[in-house]
Amino acid sequence: MNTVKKSLTPHLPRQRRRDVVENDAFAAFARRIIRAHGRRVADGDVEALRDLVALSADLDDAIGEAVIGLRAFGYSWAEIGSRLGISRQAAQQRWGGQS
């Protein structure tokens, strides 16, 4: 019987996903929807104002989830921070406590 000792097997980092084919188009679509929602509120739909403001909290939650996922995927705080135009320390302070 041939077994492999995990302690002797080198740990290989996970393959990083590089295909971002539709992300730009998807983000543009999301921006158009949010802007359209703002225009509907501006046209007199005061009841929808609360929903529009709640989108801000939803966006913050989505960013946190994305950062947690990227960290689990193997991206460093420096890589995440550089994409956001902030330092690795700032990224880690902002999202490091989330799980």
Domain ranges of the chain: 23-95
What pLDDT is attached to residue 97? 86
What is residue 79's three-state secondary structure?
Answer: helix
Q: What token pair was written down for 68?
A: 């947690």
Residues 33-77 have pLDDT tens digits of: 999 999 999 999 999 999 999 999 999 999 999 999 999 999 999
The model's confidence at residue 94, banded by pLDDT at 50, 70 and 90, is very high
Is the pLDDT at 4 greater than 60? The verdict is no
SS3 content of the chain, % helix, strand, coil (to 5): 70, 0, 30
Q: Strand, coil or helix: what is 76?
A: coil
Statement: residue 83 has pLDDT above 60 = yes
Closest CA to 70 of 21, 14, 29, 10: 14
pTM for the model: 0.69
Total count of residues recorded for the chain: 99
